[in-house]
Structure 1
Amino acid sequence: MSEGVEWALHSCLTLSWAEPGQAVTATKLAAFYDLPAAYLNKQLQALVRAEILTSTSGPRGGFRLARDLKQITLMDVVAAIEGPQDAFRCQGILRAAPGGDPETDYLKTCVVSQAMARAELAWRRELAAQTLADIRDTVESRFPRTPESTRHRLTNLRRP
């Protein structure tokens, strides 16, 4: 999984703690986490395409959450950044192994491929079962000052 997933998840949480109605620029979010703005912007644009965020241009523009965090799963964010394809992709290398058969569908018969498919399904189910609201609630219970300190820092970052 790319670092873009981590960046996207944290950016969504940060946007949830921004002042109501406030759009936050990619540059400001990048400064908040000391990340490269151009690369973070690519991740944010992927979230816009997935309808997780909205984007507004102009002097008061930036990014906002497109929907409530209760409606955004971790899997939604992962799929927006990484795409819908499976993490493990069987290449059927057994075809060329001793005793291999070029006509066999190793995606269906390979024990390694089957094990990885089961693990992928469990991973996806777990990510789909957790919302960003669940994560936000846990953060706020463990670190109650996070919303206030996030708003304060966003307000005091210089607008690029």
Structure 2
Amino acid sequence: MQISKGVEWTTHICTVLALLREGQGLSVDALAEFFELPAAYLAKQMQLLRRAGIVESLRGKGGGYRLARGVDAITLLDIVTAIEGPQSAFRCTEIRQNGPCGLKRADCRRPCEVASAFAIAEQAYRDALAAKTLASIMQEAAANSTPEHLMEMAGWVQRQNA
């Protein structure tokens, strides 16, 4: 399973948006500058987050994007689903019905053992993502950062709205 760059990028973006004061937002251009990312691609990812209700857009001075919910109400599963969609990572193609020894469709009433194994693994993956909130990510990042770096980040965010 490979998680797209968009998931990584938007998760980092959400941690920066969490630093905003009430009523403030950050533009896609500012967010792209902060992480040295392509703004056009990031804009598409931000629209996906907006449609999922993770961020909201603000107009006017200080406008741009901000979190639509608190950091304790946004999980990694929310972000992954917003960017990559809700579909399962494993898609059974019923290969067991192919070839000279393939099963007849009528004999395939239950999911095959391969599909069942992947479904169990994917559920564990989704459960782990659902248990991890943006708040917990930010707490871990703060614990592993220096006070100077945290202040530098907060100062940069606030200067964007000055």
Instruction: Using structure 1 for the length normalisation, give the TM-score.
Output: 0.89
CA separation in 1, counterparts of 2:75 and 2:87?
17
Question: What is the identity, as a one-letter code, of the residue corresponding to 1:70?
Answer: D
User: After superposition, what is the alpha-carbon deviation per residue over 1:50-90, rounded to whole angstroms, capped at 9, x for unaligned?
Assistant: 11111023343100011110011110111111111001111
For the residues of structure 2 that align with 1:49 and 1:11, how far apart are their CA atoms? 16
Which position in structure 2 is the counterpart of 1:93?
A: 95
Q: 2:33 aligns with which of 19, 31, 34?
A: 31
The one-letter code matched in structure 1 to 2:124 is A
Paired AA for residue 143 in structure 1: S
Correspondence list, 1:93-112, <5 A: 93-104=95-106, 108-112=110-114
Match of 1:58, SS state, is coil
Q: 1:26 to 1:96 in 2, by over 3 A?
A: same
- CA distance in 2: counterparts of 1:90 and 1:154, whole angstroms: 45
**Which consecutive residues of structure 2, in runs of 5 or more, have no partner in the other structure?**
none
Aligned residue pair count: 159
Question: Partner residue of 2:70?
Answer: 68
Identity %: 43
111, 132, 153: which is aligned to 1:150?
A: 153
Q: 2:133 maps to what in 1?
A: 131
CA distance in 2, matches of 1:106, 1:30: 49
* Unaligned segments of structure 1, at least 5 residues: none
- Going from structure 1 to structure 2, the CA distance change for 1:14 and 1:101 (only over 3 Å counts) comes to same
Task: Decide which of 40, 46, 49 is 1:47's aligned counterpart.
Answer: 49
